[in-house]
């Protein structure tokens, strides 16, 4: 399975964990890019704010870097489990049957 990063428009998600870009702090586009690219892992949902000044400038570099690293961009609906699941200590969903396997 390829590495995936969730994308969605117009909703708020509480389960963001390591994917906060901190773009709302007014940091530079370069800082946003470095933060996001260094923090993303497979299944990450990255939080961006629509009023952040430097986010539009940062996005092309973020997308380019993540594509180069083998990530694909998918709707969040492809990342969220709808079957029985648990939330592990890192805040990620894991299928309930997977969590009991050894």
Q: Report which of residues 80 and 67 the model is more confident about.
A: 67
- Give a yes or no: residue 97 inside a domain: no
pLDDT at position 17 is: 47
- Give a yes or no: residue 47 inside a domain: yes
CATH of the domain at 56: 3.20.20.370
- Give a yes or no: residue 91 inside a domain: no
- Please tell me the distance from the alpha carbon of residue 88 to that of residue 63, in angstroms, as a whole number: 28
Tell whether the torsion through CA atoms of 96, 99, 100 and 102 is positive or negative: positive
What single-letter DSSP state applies at residue 47? B
**Structural domain total, the chain:** 1
pLDDT at position 73 is: 86
Q: Give residue 50's domain range.
A: 3-76
The whole model's pTM is what? 0.69
């Amino acid at each position: 399975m390829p590495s995936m990063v969730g994308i969605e428009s117009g909703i708020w998600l509480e389960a963001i964990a390591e994917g906060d870009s901190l773009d709302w702090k007014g940091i530079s586009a370069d800082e946003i890019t470095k933060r996001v690219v260094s923090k993303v892992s497979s299944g990450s949902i990255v939080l961006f704010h629509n009023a952040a000044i430097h986010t539009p400038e940062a996005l092309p570099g973020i997308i380019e870097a993540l594509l180069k690293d083998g990530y694909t961009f998918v709707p969040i609906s492809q990342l969220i489990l709808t079957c029985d699941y648990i939330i592990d200590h890192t805040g990620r969903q894991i299928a309930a049957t997977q969590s009991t396997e050894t």
